[in-house]
Amino acid sequence: MSDRSSPEPAGASLVDDRAAVGAEETDEAEVEFLHTPSPSILCPVCHDVCREPVITNGCNHSYCASCIYHSLEIEPFCPLCRSRIKIEDLHPNLALSGLISELLVYCSNKKYGCPQILRQDALHGHVLYCSYAPSVCPNKSLGCPYKGTMRDAKEHLQNCVYERFKGYIDSTNKRFEKLESLLAEQSREVEKLQRIIRAGKSIVYANEISASGPASSLSTREDGAQHGESSSLSSGTKRTVVSTFPHDEITCHRTIASHPCGVTSVAVNQDRVFAGAHDGSTKVFDINTGELLKDSKGHTMSVWGLAVMPSGDRYFSAGSDGTIKVWDWLKEGDEACLVKSIPDHNAKVYGLVVDQGRLYSASSDKTIKVWDTETLECLATFQGHTGGVNSLAALTDASSRQLVTGSSDKTIKLWDVTTGTCLKTVRRGTSEVLDVAVGDGMLFGSTYDAVIHVYDLNETRELGTLSGHNWEVWQLEYGQGHLFSASFDHTIKRWDPRRFQCDLTLKGHKSFVHGMALAENCLVTGCADRTIKIWR
């Protein structure tokens, strides 16, 4: 299971390791031992051979480092003898680590024919140069379907048809790329002209109803004026200011720097911005002035999920402490504002969504729960993922109520909310799914390898991929024909998903972008650099 990684309050950084899992964990999971490992080297929590084993000071029990760290987040007791322990009581078990490294294992490429049996600590170095490693033709991008091993790939290349015609194919592809670029540029010009025509009609109407004065030309304000806003010229003629968000250039309209620590989640409702942070606090700001309207402290650890009721007077927060908190933020005082604290999840809660009177919560305990937003009663629990659930999104335009979830088990699932059944499962192969988004008949899923996958929502057929971020993409938002993605590489990108192209990159944050919310006339992002930015 992946975990987000950025500066945390003291004591939290040791257990919040969501960005520490990668390819090495995948490799270890595929290890096949020559002999069945002794029960004495198995972790009592996951019942697998200990990985990075640690031992407790008092009771001398050994566990996987990740297993015992996650266990201590839930309760401060040894899982075996129930002795009270702290993270400071854990130390590397070097003796056990040495024994495990000497265990004999098969090469990971055994299924491809490799006969090697070697010590586990030598496996990684062997696999790097194993001649039985799976391989594809270097001309795969040109269309060659060959799949085999590295030892056979050289012989294949000598007879590969695509190798012979490589020069011709490359030159043809370049011509197509130039044509596609020209078409994209012309399409943008057409869209811009269409917006000007629509805006011009509004201005003509405004001039007709004005008292007098010459017709005014189309103008836009650099400070991000909203659609439909009007102002008066010196001649008395009304001028309509038209917002083209999110289609044209987007700039940072405002930066809010009121947090003493990293911002981990954001939500938008009308002219209010809601933000969660690493210190467990939630804040409410005026989106137009940046004024702090409410500052509440209820969580003991990072707040990863926020959702706001359509009325805007109640919001929900959740995070690493495993609880969901319900806030009526217009009331005075934290105690009056905190309506209820719900501890029903058994692990961190990473996502919240409000839709049609229901609150949906996604947790690393592998479940999705459904709540009544008024009674706060748990109506259902969806089970089916075999890994932590990192994200969820509601299909508001579906004929039946449906929900999409992304998980560390490397799958995306589509749920029927009414029956609680899983309708479809998309398997992502080797990478954990970090976030999901839906819109215009498309399903988007970002994975741990910094790639965004695009699917046909009805057929769950992959249409293509969006690549351009350097680090993991933890946030996706879709609206008005555009997909926005926020990454640990400090940037936000805008994509045209039908052309599979990035047409804008927003820079300004100086650390991991943890939170993002898309409104009708602005984009809001929250970052580990302790700031919130309003983009228009």
CB burial of 136-173 (b: ≥16 within 10 Å; e: otherwise) equals ebbbeebebebeebeeebeebeeebebbeeeeeeeeee
pLDDT tens for residues 195-233?
A: 777 665 444 444 444 444 433 333 333 344 333 444 443
Could you tell me if 357 and 374 are in contact, meaning their C-beta atoms sit under 8 angstroms apart?
Answer: yes
The alpha carbon of 447 is separated from its chain's Cα centroid by a whole number of angstroms, namely 8
Distance separating alpha carbons of residues 496 and 479, to the nearest angstrom: 11
Q: 393-402, pLDDT tens digit by residue?
A: 999 765 568 9
Q: Please name the amino acid found at residue 296.
A: S
Take residue 417 and report the two structure tokens written for it.
Answer: 């909310």
At residue 139, the pLDDT reads: 86
User: Residues near 511 by Cβ (< 8 Å), separated by ≥ 6?
Assistant: 6, 262, 490, 527, 528, 529
CB 526 within 8 A of CB 275: yes
**Which residue ranges of the chain lie beneath pLDDT 50?**
1, 5-29, 201-241
Burial of 315 (0-12, 13-18, 19+ CB in 10 A): buried
Closest CA to 319 of 259, 366, 277: 277
